[in-house]
Amino acid sequence: MQNWRSERGAALVEYMLILPLLFMLFLGSLEVMRLFSVKQSLRTGLKMAAPCLSHIHDYAYHCDPYERLSNELAKNAFAITIHRLELIPDVDTVQHLWYGEVYEVIAEVEVEFGFLYPFEGGPTIALRESVHTFIDSSPHYFELNVATPFPHDPGVLPRLPAEALQP
């Protein structure tokens, strides 16, 4: 019974009790930092992907928005456990929009918790970034597009009769 009343080692017991909480707090702050970093990459990727959609009618401006977005995320070492990456709207939808039309581009990514749950198949969190933009003008908008045939193209030139030319 005397052992129960002894206060020796109480601090150690208290420390052991609080340690998991401290550890969770530490991992939690790392997790928040990681999610911030992924969100920032998502933002940067969206900014790089949006012009691909805005210039969809410009034949001279070819790029894949999804590729740009995923490449930007791939550069981030914290974004290795990505489950789903979505870009809304897709290229086909944007192709039906006309010059100057305003639309919203949304990039959404589902990320697994890496620090708080360092095992596979853990809980995930969806991060989302969006920007309002518009279909940009292109040379075609200003009627200067080399890809389209010229109007009034005379085609084969008519030859003048030789006798018409007099010295």
Partner 1 sequence: MQRIVRSGALQSLKRFWRDELGAELIQFILVLPIMLGVVWTAMEAWQLMTLRAAVRSTTAQAARYMTAFGASAESRAPMAPENLCANVEYLVAESLSRQSGNLGDHLAVTMRWYRFLDPTNPLWEGNAIATSCMELLLGYECNDVFAVTIKVAVPWQSVVFGIDYSATTTEMLRFSDTATGVAPCLPHCNVRVSGNVISAGIHGCRARVCWSLDSSYRPDYCGIFVDDVLVHRQDAPLLNQCFEPVTLPPGASSIEVRCYGGEREATGAITLNCQ
Q: In terms of CB distance, is 67 or 104 closer to partner 1?
A: 104
In the complex, the smallest distance separating the C-beta of residue 160 from partner 1, rounded to whole angstroms, is 6
In the complex, the smallest distance separating the C-beta of residue 91 from partner 1, rounded to whole angstroms, is 20
**Range list of β-strands (E), the chain:** 82-88, 102-112, 124-134
In the complex, the smallest distance separating the C-beta of residue 27 from partner 1, rounded to whole angstroms, is 18
Residues 118 and 80 sit within 8 Å (Cβ to Cβ): no
In the complex, the smallest distance separating the C-beta of residue 102 from partner 1, rounded to whole angstroms, is 5
- The rounded distance, in Å, linking the Cα atoms of 145 and 62 is 15
Residues 50 and 87 sit within 8 Å (Cβ to Cβ): no
Report 86-145 residues binding partner 1 (CB under 8 A): 99-100, 102, 104, 131-134, 136-137, 139, 141-145
Report 61-80 residues binding partner 1 (CB under 8 A): none
Look at the block and give the residue holding tokens 């740009």.
68
Look at the block and give the residue holding tokens 């990727």.
45
Q: Using CB under 8 A as the criterion, which residues of the chain lie in contact with partner 1 when the complex forms?
A: 99-100, 102, 104, 131-134, 136-137, 139, 141-146, 148, 150-154, 157-158, 160, 163-167
